[in-house]
Structure 1
Amino acid sequence: MIHLIRHGELVELRLDNPAKLNALTVEMLEALSAHLENVEREGARGLLLTAEGTRAFCTGADINAWGGLSPEDFARNWVRGGHRIFDRLARLACPTIAVLQGHAFGGGLELAAACDIRVMAPGATLALPETGVGIVPGWSGTQRLVRLLPEPVVKEMALFGRRLSAERAYALGFVAEVSDTPLEAAMTIAARLTETSPRATEVAKYMIHAGRGEDTPALIEALASGMTAASLDKAEGVEAFRAKRKPDFKGA
């Protein structure tokens, strides 16, 4: 289950499967996708991604959800479907913060990596344990994560099974803050969003993503389309088309 909790102009999405250390099920992925659509449509100023309990933020995908899938179904539906949802989180218009009060392993780490910044508890760790069960990271662990961490560090986790401590993650810039009260720290950071321009914040996020190669073609076209859509020439072009006359563009 994933709960949507409103804090004024901010929204919190809370993973709730503590009996399995918040491992992701098919139902949770579907709920996450639906919630992200609502958050986008309603224009939240910021999103915090949290989890129940203090042992784990998320230990990845529930093995019962994918362990019995055929190779074709595993690749085409489970992996690609998860990618679409995580990409949607990464491309959300509003800024996002992952609150890691506990360990983030596998898909849980990939989920946190899809957020804009991360706040972490001191005792939490990060890991990519997939090769230990005969698979590989499938939800951007070898793609998005290598843009956020040095390649040798990702190899330490994915190839050698080493865990990354909160302190080292902070030193490497992957984590914005290490706090004994990570949710409180994240709320303090997110509160600043209510004092900034939503449109300017959204555009700044798009520009940064385009600079690092995150969905660059779509972002370039979105930003360019926004510029032209605000012009008087666009209004004149639409009016002329409807009136079936030649447009009189002024370059404004």
Structure 2
Amino acid sequence: MSGAVHLDTQGGIATLRLDNPTKLNAFTPEMLAQLAAHCDTLDRDTAVRAVLLTSEGERAFCAGADIKAWAGYAPAEFARIWVRDGHRIFDRLARLSKPTIAVLQAHAFGGGLELASACDIRVIAPAATLALPESQVGIVPGWSGTQRIARLLPEPMLKEMALFGRRISAERALACGFVAEIADDPATTARAIAEKLLTTSPRATEVAKYMIHAGVGEDRDAMIEALGSGMIAASADKAEGVDAFAHKRKPVFPGT
């Protein structure tokens, strides 16, 4: 199948770019796998301070999932493979240790809106709209459209999209706080926002993201344990315990 997700890094800012413009940047299984692999790379790259999520073309940021990619699945396979894989990979993006910005230069529909929702903030073009049109092809949102988006949008607005098939304008998305800014050139605006991170503390930014995610329930258990583990890893007790283990002696913990 066609389509790819590219990863490029320049000056501490990484860019994930959806590249399937002939299909409105709709996701294929290969693209999902590439996104997951890139997320693993980004979390381990200490030089990266921020991540921009962009796409090719002017017609759509992302129209969701390529229907041809999932239409042949049996019902159980559709739920077990396609839906759960997509959910897991979008969760992986949401839980990156780096701040993420979705650049919505055009419409974000279905899985494309769910993808944008997995980023920390969003910048949108004036003419871009948001929609959850799954019911038009006989399915329901499956990559967090009724879960994560329910934490980001007012319930009536989410129902407008998921139940009634209405599109939400950039202005309404800004008014409810779903997008950070409306910009004629979303990519330039998003990069300017990301560049501000180059002068801040990487560790403070990472920990602040973990704290916020724990507060809103985004992978709360893992976030709490990551915060606690980070604290204990910097302690003299941890250093003593590791040294005692290495030298096969009884540890004497200083309690600091």
* TM-score over 0.5 for the pair: yes
**Residues 86-235 of structure 1: matches in 2 within 5 Å?**
86-235=90-239
Corresponding pairs, count = 252
For the residues of structure 2 that align with 1:249 and 1:19, how far apart are their CA atoms?
62
Question: Hey, what does 1:236 align to over in structure 2?
Answer: 240
For the residues of structure 1 that align with 2:200 and 2:152, how far apart are their CA atoms?
25
Question: Hey, what does 1:24 align to over in structure 2?
Answer: 27
Where 2:161 maps in the other structure, the secondary structure is: helix
Which structure 2 segments of 5+ residues have no match? none
Q: Deviations over 1:137-176 (max 9, x none)?
A: 0000000000001111111100000111000000000000
Matched to 2:34, the amino acid is A
Matched to 1:119, the amino acid is V
Where 2:163 maps in the other structure, the secondary structure is: helix
Question: Does the alignment pair 1:53 with 2:63?
Answer: no
For the residues of structure 1 that align with 2:55 and 2:225, how far apart are their CA atoms?
35
Q: CA deviation at 1:245?
A: 2.7
Q: Deviations over 1:29-88 (max 9, x none)?
A: 111111111111112111000011111000000000001111111000100001111011
Identity %: 70
Q: CA deviation at 1:222?
A: 0.9
For the residues of structure 1 that align with 2:148 and 2:91, how far apart are their CA atoms?
10
Aligned residues: CA RMSD? 0.8
Matched to 1:128, the amino acid is L
Q: 1:69 aligns with which of 66, 73, 88?
A: 73
Question: Hey, what does 2:14 align to over in structure 1?
Answer: 11
Q: CA deviation at 1:2?
A: 1.4
Where 1:34 maps in the other structure, the secondary structure is: helix
Matched to 2:202, the amino acid is P
For the residues of structure 1 that align with 2:53 and 2:21, how far apart are their CA atoms?
15
Q: CA deviation at 1:3?
A: 1.7
TM-score by length of 2: 0.97
Question: Hey, what does 1:250 align to over in structure 2?
Answer: 254
Q: CA deviation at 1:243?
A: 2.8
Q: CA deviation at 1:241?
A: 2.5
